[in-house]
Amino acid sequence: MFNSILVVCTGNICRSPTGERLLRQLLPNKKIDSAGTGALKGHAADATASLVAEKHNLDLADHQGQQFTRHLAQQYDLILVMEKHHQEEVSTIAPEARGKTMLFAHWLKGKQIPDPYRQSQEAFEHVYQLIEQAAQAWATKLGNK
């Protein structure tokens, strides 16, 4: 069973913190964190990502970006990535993690969740909706919804 989940994107300031916090709400008995393949280490969540999350009663306030590493990968049962190229990056950094790495939107017909960084608030809203749908789907598949 998947008792620990790591959500991965590029910078770990927009998509993965949002996915992490949504999954934590939906799966409160699981260890859920996030990281980035090119993380802005120690950075807070993006201001627009935080604003959009707040509109949906989700708090990203204390988030700090962290780099995805092989050591980090070993600590989780499931790694969820936003785009297919993240699967390749995860496999390069931690080849043994390939088999436990899936798209965050896997249950949404394998959609990829685009990076809204430095785009409009509407782009962030669209991405939030995709992440929320995908998080709900994972919660259902993992038996908690």
The question of whether 98 is a catalytic residue gets the answer: no
The catalytic position among 9, 14, 24, 33 is: 9
Q: Running DSSP on this structure, what letter comes out for residue 67?
A: B
108 close to 102: Cβ distance less than 8 angstroms: no
The catalytic position among 15, 21, 24, 46 is: 15
The question of whether 14 is a catalytic residue gets the answer: no
98 close to 22: Cβ distance less than 8 angstroms: no
In terms of Cα–Cα distance, which of 95, 5, 13, 21 is closest to 48?
13
Active site residues: 9, 15, 115
